[in-house]
Structure formats: structure tokens, C-alpha cells
Chain A
Amino acid sequence: MSATLEVVSRSAAQPPNYEIRPKVSPTGEIESDLLEIAMGPHHPSTHGVFRMDVILDGERVVKLKPVFGYLHRNHEKIAEGTTYLGSMPYTDRLDYFCSMTNNWAYALSVEKLAGLQPPERAEYIRVIVGELTRLINHTCLLGFLVQDMGALGTPLMYAFREREKILDLFEALSGSRMMCNYMRFGGCRVDLSPGWIEEAKRVVDDYPRFLDEYDRLMSENEILLARTQGVGVLPAELAINASVTGPGLRASGVNYDLRKVDQYGIYDRFDFRVPLGDHGDVYDRYMLRFLEMRESVKILKAALRDIPAGPIMDPKAKIRGFRPKAGEAYGRIEAPKGELGFYLISDGSPNPYRYRVRPPSLINLTILEDMCLGHTVPDVVIILGSVDIVLGEVDR
């Protein structure tokens, strides 16, 4: 075989074209190719393992596809195989910033299923820890959102400093800072330790001072205003149609707060307002959290003042051999991120036949593309930050 290898100098055959000549449409606009970028799954702005497939025209977003499931842990199926009580610590891991409200939502739905009624003191404790959780969540969100805009460090550390005080309260109460596993069907696990109320009162009374400080620190900042106002507008109709709940919905001007609508627990006894936004942009969602925290402080002050003495568990509740009668129940609460619901079907056995979580983070994420279209990549980062997701809850 005599094959001759023909060596051709590439430069001789076809000189490389180093000239970039943009395509121009007949109207004179530059036509460029679209660029697809995967932001994530390991990206500091995505708040966890979450991927956004962004298709860009220049720097404008023309299409955005959220991709999730990287943190899937089979929560619902595991819960169907374990006892009712055994799922309680797993609910801590849903939205790991707000384990107390996750416990509450789950306990509420099981109480509906089994017909349990927590005593007065337990209801007050639940309101107190639930509102403290709201303070934690919103405080951290403000820190993270500002960090997404480039204010590295300082505002987030200020937020974490305040969060630490509430986490100390949770540790004194439940033994753990984040994975509280505190509520039980028909009440709470342990009573408040002596001196806890005084400590909580001190933290709550100090809280408005931090809110004012943070307000002065950030809210008038011209960079923040320029970055957030008019960005990521969510129209009220779209928010309702996509069943968005929580601060995202209220920032669009829809008056819907489960604490007022459902009045679960003892929320009908407290006097508080539901703050609403006008424009539905990132700035409204940012400021709305401030206002909600001020209302939470109001609820907390009233609850810490009025908490009665008494038992903390329904005498009908039992720890071992808990079998609710066959039936189904849906319990929902206003978690800091929106409506958190648990749907349970019981067939009378010690474990649920069906266990379903309605996570606010996942459902609020579905309108991400509509909010991001036409904005630039740095805006996408802060729009995602303002939706307030936690991937433990999105993927379950």
C-alpha cells in the first residue's frame, strides 16, 4: 500500500479569518447569535444547588429555564414509610432556615387528621416561635439579597448577628439551633425554660433598633435603588394565576395572608396589619419584608405579654403507637416564604398512606422566567434573590 500523506499547509489552503464582522439586518440592527449559559448548579448567587439555563441575546435574557432536583432526598416517600412522629425531624430539613414553621405546618395537618387540639399555652408558644422564625428568615433574606447586589459581607454579617440571638433562644428552648424538631402533635415537646420569656422579650424589644439600623444602612442607598426599582416586576394577575404566595404575592398588591384568611392557631387574637406593595418589583419585595418584620415584632410583644401558664400537650396525644383514624387532611400555615401545606391521607396504620408537601419556594419559583425576561444577567441574580428560595424545600 503506498499511500502518500499529503501535507498541506493550513495557512496556504485557507488563511484563518481573524476579522469579526457582525451580521446586520436590513433595518441596520446587529444580529448576533444567542448564547446559552448554565448558571449553577454551583454558583454563589443561586442560593444552593440550583441551575438556571439562561439564553442570552447580548446581555438580555430571552429565555430562562430553572432546573432543580439536585438536592432531592425522597422526603415524601421516606415519610410514607416511617411513622407520623418520625417525619417530624425530616420536616426541619425542608426549609432549613425556618424549621419551626415547618414543624408547625406538619403538626397542624396531623392534628386535623387525628382531631387533636393543642392547649392555650402551646398555641402561644407556637405563635412566638413562628414569628421569631419569620424574623430570622426575613433578616437573612435582606442580607443575602444585598449580597447578591455586590455588598459583600457587611450587611449580611449584620443580619447574621441578629439571627444569632434568635438562634440562641431556639437552642435554649429546643436543644438545637436550626434543626429544632420542637413541635409535637397536640402541643410542644418541652415547656419554656425559666427565664426564657424574659430573654425573648429582651431580644424582641431590641429588634426594632436593628431594623432601623439596617434601614439606615441600606434602604436609601442609591445603588440599591437603581438596582431594584422597576426590576423583576410581577403583575398581580400573573402572581395569582401562578399561585404565588407569601411576600412575593403581597408585594404585588394582593391582600392574602393566611394568618388573616385562615386564622389558624390563635392569630385572630393579635392586632396586626398585612403590608402590601404597589409595584411588585424587587424593591417592593425588599421593603415589604421590613414592614412584615415590624408587624411580627408587634405580634411577638403581645404574645410574650399574654402567654398563660398551663399544660403544653393535649392529654389525648400519645407518643408511642400513634395511629390516626382513616381520612385525609390538609394543614397550611403562612410560612415566611409563603403558604406551606402538608396533605396527608391516613389508612389507619402508623404511617401515612400519602404524604405531600406544598412548598412555597418551589411554586414561587415557577414565575422566575416571566420576571427575568428582558433583564440583564446581574438582574436575574437579584430577582432570584428576591423570590427567596431555599433549595431544601424546592427539591425535597
Chain B
Amino acid sequence: MLGTGIIKGLAETAKNFIGSYVDTDRLITVQYPEERLPLKENARNFPFLVYDGGDHEKGLRCVACKICEKECPPQCIYIVLERDEKGKPQKHPKVFDIDVSVCMSCQICVEVCPFDAIKMDTEYELSNDDRFGSLLQNKRQLAKSNAYYHKIHPVEAEEVDSRLAAENARVEAKAKAEAEAKAKAAAAPKPAAPPPAARPNPAPQPVPA
């Protein structure tokens, strides 16, 4: 009979409509500004710089190696290396800007960073009417503590901390061994070759939250 298909379809919508009064699982929307869905552990939106300890300037893990600046596909990262009075490069960024309006949240900066210095934030309410004050974020706005990182990505932050601690221990052991070798060479009457200088510690001391 003509029209049975339409009636069958309408029965389906009626079932859903009545069901929404009975079964709360059918109500799938949330009232957004008042209610929020919990964020996923892996959620990512915009990068931030991790700092250890309490000082957002001294504690920055970033050493201004500019790998992320080079690898960033839309090229939204801008880094200037800090130099002292004599022009000697310091392992610290003088300027570190990321443009929110250019960033496409791809996470490649996080993947290429060898120092675990840049991570993804989960903050998504970034809309703003201040183009250069708020959307072009500077080093101060980007720096967030390791404790904050632990708060938003607990599992991942644990892994990173243990990895950094292991790396640190390895470097310290190496420096110690080198210092011992140096002392031994100094104690010996004639050193065969000048001992290699101990490398400065590349990974900063992680501070567990």
C-alpha cells in the first residue's frame, strides 16, 4: 500500500521521541556552557612550554634549538636565542612566540622536541578580540608549570618525568666517570691526551609534581 514506508519511518521517529522521556541514554546532547564533557587524556589543542620548579623564566626546559620552528608545518613558531653580553649563545629562548590563529594543533612540535619542553594544552576556549595581545602568545603566556602538565595529561607526564630522570642519571654518571678519569689522568705523571671537557647537563632537573 502506498504510504506504508512513510508511516514505518514516522513510527521510528516516534519511538525515538517517546524513548527520550523514558531512557536518559537517548539524550545525547549537553548544555554546553553550563555542562562540559570531560576531556580525553590525549586531547590536544594548543602547545605550551613546560617549566620546572617555580620560576617560569629560569625553569623553562626549552633550549632554543629551533627544531620545532623548522618542523612546524604552518610555521607559527618564532624563536630568538638568548645571548650574553659577549654574544655567546645561551641555552635559553629570548623570544618564543606562537600564533594561535596560525597553529593547526598538529602536535608535530611536541613529537620533534628532544627535550620534552613543549607539550599540548587542552584549553579550547581561546577566542578573543585582541589579535596581537592574546592570540599571538609570548613566552610568558606560553610557560606553564610541570604541575599543570601533570594535571592535564597525568599518564603522559609520568612517563616524561621518568624518562627525563633516567636521562639525567645517565648524564650525571657519565660526567662523574669523566671527572674520575680526569682526576686519574691528572694524578698520572704524563697525560697522553687532554681529557675531554665534561658536557654541561642538557636536560634540566625534573621536579615531580
Contacts and interface: CB of A to CB of B under 8 A. Distances in A.
Interface of A: 82-83, 85-90, 154, 158, 161, 164, 168, 171-176, 179, 181, 189-190, 193, 213, 216-225, 319-320
Interface string B1-22: 0111110110111001000000
Contact of A222 (B6, B13, B104): B6
B3 A222 contact: yes
Contacts of B104: 89, 179
A154 B13 contact: yes
Q: Which of B12, B28, B105, B114 has the most CB of A within 10 A?
A: B12
Interface stretch (B36-44, B47-55, B125-133): B36-44
Contacts of B41: 172, 193
Contacts of B108: 85-86, 88-89, 181
10 contacts: A87-B73, A89-B73, A89-B108, A172-B42, A179-B105, A216-B8, A217-B9, A218-B9, A220-B5, A224-B5
A310 B40 CA distance: 24
B112 A320 contact: yes
A174 B42 CA distance: 6
B73 A225 contact: no
Contacts of A168: 40
Given A164-B28, A213-B12, 20 more contacts: A82-B73, A85-B108, A86-B71, A86-B108, A88-B108, A89-B73, A90-B73, A172-B41, A175-B43, A175-B107, A176-B43, A176-B44, A179-B105, A181-B106, A216-B8, A216-B11, A220-B5, A221-B5, A320-B67, A320-B114
A73 to B, nearest CB: 11
A161 B28 contact: yes
Contacts of B114: 320
Nearest first, the 6 A-B pairs at minimum CB distance are: A220-B5, A89-B106, A175-B44, A86-B73, A175-B42, A217-B12
Task: Please report whether the interface of chain A is mostly helix, strand, loop or mixed according to DSSP.
Answer: helix
Contacts of A88: 106, 108
Interface in B103-142: 104-108, 111-112, 114, 120
A357 to B, nearest CB: 16
A82 B72 CA distance: 9
A179 B43 CA distance: 12
A223 B6 contact: yes
Q: Which of B9, B11, B43, B112 has the most CB of A within 10 A?
A: B9
Nearest to A220: B5
A219 B12 CA distance: 12
B175 to A, nearest CB: 25
Q: Which of B6, B72, B106, B114 has the most CB of A within 10 A?
A: B106
